[in-house]
Amino acid sequence: MKKTIRRIHENWRSGLTVSLIGIPLSIALAIAAGATPTQGIITAIWAGLIGALLGGSRVNIIGPTGALTGVLISYTITHGYQALPLIALLSGLLILIASYLHLERYITFIPKSVVYGFTLGIALIIAFGQLDNIFGLKDLPKTNNLFHNIIIALQHLPDFQWVIFGIFAVGLGFLLIWKKFIPKLPGAIVLTVCAITASYYFSSSNETIQSLLTIGEKYPDFQSQIFVNAWRDFSHTMLFDKDLWIISFATALISILETLLSGQIAAKMSKTPFDRSREMRSLGLANIGSGLLGGIPATAALARTALNIKSGGNHQTSGVLNALFTLIICVFAFTLFRWLPMVTVASILVMVAIGMVNKNYFTEFARNGRNAITLMLLVAAITFIIDPISGILIGSFIALLIFVEKNSTGQTEILLWNKGKMTEALMKRDFLDRSKIHSDLVVYKISGTLTYINMPAHLEAVKKIKDNEHVIISLRHAFYADHDGVDYLRELISILENQNKDVILCGINSEIKKWIQDETFYKERGRKKQIFKRTSEAIYQLYKE
């Protein structure tokens, strides 16, 4: 009991701070995803509560995030917000299955360049998706392609309300300046309070205020109920919708990536342990709970998690209190948000988009070479112009091709020995540039894997190894093989046998041995005593003779 009281005392300020910024953000991000404000609050409360109670991170905050809005908006434009609870439920089930199968260890192989490119693309979607609210455009036709929607908005240039754009610019400028000079208190809280107050008190007397579209006007059924009948429009035929399953798979994938990334960063910031498997399970259950109660898909929110840590949060108690404070505030004051102007929502969302873009990404990838930054920008462009699912899938496929290409070079080290002394150590590229190679002994090292990916590249090198007394193939640093790799090794040994006097095998570990022990070339070398545990033993034996 004393421990519980102490944790509440240590974490109530951080829980309250996160709830105050989480309410306007959850409303704004839900709107950006095509959901209703109520669905955003439901998600913040129930997904946040379940994630905090069951999570593997002490400080991760679960709720609506920008990373999912770009994926969900393309579906809700054509299918309606009523499908979002079902997407949350299905994605939660998929996350649980992925957790049971430990698939997170494969999902996290998606490189940072793809993840950050996707994040940049989503930031552009969030920002440009607010053009109608930024310029006061109403009743614009919508398609499921954001790029087309931007073109439609620009075609209504004569209808732009520049006064409303001015209000947007003032709001965004306020948020930027506030963040620079008062970073500890999120400016979105202050802006939201000011905007609601101005909209409420001046709505009847100010013509400009009267022309502002508010949340209450855009969502006439805006309500303070935390429990809603989310399944009144449900039909079992929806489960056979291919697009529904595609969006659910994509949502699950992005949720896992964002949550694990947030958890890792949070663990470093707070110096607290992070249980990846437990966090995955809690994320799945949080999405199921959100879906059953009428919410939308959720994932870890890195910005709110960082705010939680900076505000003193050091335990799951902070996340639980965040959810409870959000519930209490919304029960008593949620209806006030009906006065929040949509242009203010746009300012907050554009600020969220700006926060998602980190200049360090560009400098980091620029240092790592042209491939990384090119891939990041390509993924961002595909995500923004086509759709987020295509962005992350195409980006991951290209990253895989780059990985295969780099691993297909068959890089190795080649040691040249003469009269008992090593005279040169050459990398494969330098070895191939040499016009002629002749030594008493050549040591050819094969590192990594013996597979169809990298073994063909070794054939080019071994064809240059001619007229030597002895050739040693060292497999000390080879850790995996497949049937194709063994076939290529057989061919490689055959080439060396035809061009040199002896071919010796060294450093064969148990993993490689089980693949080659029944091969004729292995048995033949066993009979000739041309298999050694270590290269040094083979060299000693050869020069001893």
Pick left, alpha or beta for residue 231 (phi over 0 → left; psi -120 to 50 → alpha; otherwise beta): alpha
Summarised one tens digit per residue, pLDDT across range 391-432 is 888 888 888 888 777 766 666 888 888 888 888 888 877 888
Angle in degrees, CA 447, 448, 453, rounded to 5: 110
Cα separation, 186 vs 166, in Å, equals 22
Sequence-distant (6+) residues with CB within 8 A of 339 are: 196, 199, 200, 203, 214, 215, 216
Tell me the C-alpha to C-alpha distance, in Å, between residue 493 and each of 47, 142, 224, 423, 508: 60, 64, 76, 24, 15
Q: Distance between terminal CA atoms of the chain?
A: 79
At residue 225, the pLDDT reads: 47
- Asked whether the predicted pLDDT for residue 130 surpasses 60, the reply is yes
Q: Is the pTM of this model over 0.95?
A: no
Query: Taking residues 113-129, what's their average pLDDT?
Result: 86
Beta bridge partners of 413: 427
Token pair belonging to 179: 């963040």
Cα separation, 516 vs 454, in Å, equals 17
Give the CA-trace dihedral at 53, 58, 64, 68, to 10 degrees: -120
Cα separation, 25 vs 30, in Å, equals 8
* Number of other CB atoms surrounding residue 407 within 10 Å: 15
Query: Domain locations in the chain?
Result: 2-220+234-403, 410-544
At residue 208, the pLDDT reads: 54
- Asked whether the predicted pLDDT for residue 493 surpasses 70, the reply is yes
At residue 222, the pLDDT reads: 64
Confidence of residue 226 (pLDDT cuts 50, 70, 90): very low
In percent, the amount of the chain with pLDDT more than 90 equals 24
Query: Taking residues 34-50, what's their average pLDDT?
Result: 92
- Asked whether the predicted pLDDT for residue 314 surpasses 80, the reply is yes
Query: Taking residues 156-164, what's their average pLDDT?
Result: 84
At residue 229, the pLDDT reads: 55
Query: Taking residues 339-354, what's their average pLDDT?
Result: 90
Summarised one tens digit per residue, pLDDT across range 256-291 is 988 988 888 888 888 888 888 899 999 999 999 999
At residue 155, the pLDDT reads: 85
At residue 223, the pLDDT reads: 57
By the 8 A CB rule, do 63 and 298 touch? yes
Sequence-distant (6+) residues with CB within 8 A of 201 are: none
Cα separation, 274 vs 263, in Å, equals 7
At residue 224, the pLDDT reads: 46
- Asked whether the predicted pLDDT for residue 60 surpasses 80, the reply is yes
Confidence of residue 295 (pLDDT cuts 50, 70, 90): very high
Ranges 7-21, 64-78, 219-233, 286-300, most confident: 286-300
Half-sphere exposure at residue 53, Cβ-oriented, CA atoms within 13 angstroms = 12
Summarised one tens digit per residue, pLDDT across range 100-110 is 988 877 776 77
Query: Taking residues 20-29, what's their average pLDDT?
Result: 89
Q: Which CATH superfamily is domain 410-544 in?
A: STAS domain (3.30.750.24)
- Residue 532's φ and ψ, nearest 5 degrees, are -130, 150
By the 8 A CB rule, do 136 and 211 touch? yes
Summarised one tens digit per residue, pLDDT across range 63-97 is 999 889 888 988 888 888 888 999 999 999 999 99
At residue 97, the pLDDT reads: 94
Confidence of residue 231 (pLDDT cuts 50, 70, 90): low
At residue 249, the pLDDT reads: 92
Confidence of residue 177 (pLDDT cuts 50, 70, 90): very high
- Asked whether the predicted pLDDT for residue 389 surpasses 50, the reply is yes
At residue 408, the pLDDT reads: 65
Q: To the nearest whole number, what is the mean pLDDT of the chain?
A: 85
- Asked whether the predicted pLDDT for residue 385 surpasses 90, the reply is no
Query: Taking residues 310-325, what's their average pLDDT?
Result: 90
Sequence-distant (6+) residues with CB within 8 A of 497 are: 503
Cα separation, 42 vs 61, in Å, equals 14
At residue 234, the pLDDT reads: 58
Cα separation, 307 vs 61, in Å, equals 10
At residue 227, the pLDDT reads: 47
Cα separation, 408 vs 405, in Å, equals 5
Element (H, E) at 481: strand 478-481
Confidence of residue 444 (pLDDT cuts 50, 70, 90): very high
